[in-house]
Amino acid sequence: MRLTALLLCGTLTLAACGGGGSPKRSDADRVRDTLSAFAQASAKHDYRRVCADLLAKPVIDSVRRAGLSCENAMKTALQGVEAPKLEVGQVTIKGNRASAKVHTTAANQQASDDTVALVKEGQDWKIGALSGG
């Protein structure tokens, strides 16, 4: 599955981890936690969790400005995606921003390698954008 199918809604790139667990966990570990939670919620079609816990506020605001609810946008983006899997590679942290290289697969879809941008909101890392490659 292309991560684009998971994160893209219209022209907007869209995925409670982040702040959970021990305070000794590194930011890179917490970025990985957020992406893992996104993969699990997506596989379970738990759009409420994706929207409430895993997407950055600007992403949700952009979806709303487009006249869509976040949950409906995610439902549309994930329609037909079966058995999605996401593997996180290199994570780079720069202040309150992060990027993660990911490899995604899903049943009957071509695998994809992408970069996911995350932003820190409070103590939580949230998904903010995707770029191919």
Ranges of each domain in the chain:
3-132
Residue 24: phi and psi, rounded to 5, are -80, -10
Residue 10, Cβ density class (10 Å: 0-12 exposed, 13-18 middle, ≥19 buried): middle
Question: Strand 8-9 vs strand 109-121: parallel, antiparallel, or unpaired?
Answer: unpaired
- Please check the confidence at residue 18 and state whether its pLDDT lies above 80: no
Task: Give the span between the Cα atoms of 48 and 98, in whole angstroms.
Answer: 23
Q: What is the pLDDT of residues 34-53, one digit of tens each?
A: 999 999 999 999 999 999 99
pTM of the model: 0.81
DSSP assignment letter at 67: T
Which pLDDT score is estimated for 40?
95
Task: Give the span between the Cα atoms of 68 and 77, in whole angstroms.
Answer: 12
3-state secondary structure of 38: helix
User: What is the pLDDT of the chain when averaged over all its residues?
Assistant: 84
Overall CATH class of domain 3-132: alpha beta
- The number of beta carbons lying within 10 Å of the beta carbon of residue 12 is 18
How do the residues of the chain divide into helix, strand and coil, expressed in percent and rounded to 5? 40, 35, 25
Which pLDDT score is estimated for 131?
62
For the residues of 69-82, what is the DSSP string, one character each?
-HHHHHHHHHTT--
pLDDT-based confidence at 133, cuts 50/70/90? Answer: low
Please report, rounded to a whole number, the percentage of residues in the chain having pLDDT higher than 70: 80
Q: What is the pLDDT of residues 91-123, one digit of tens each?
A: 999 999 999 999 999 998 999 999 999 999 999
Which pLDDT score is estimated for 23?
59
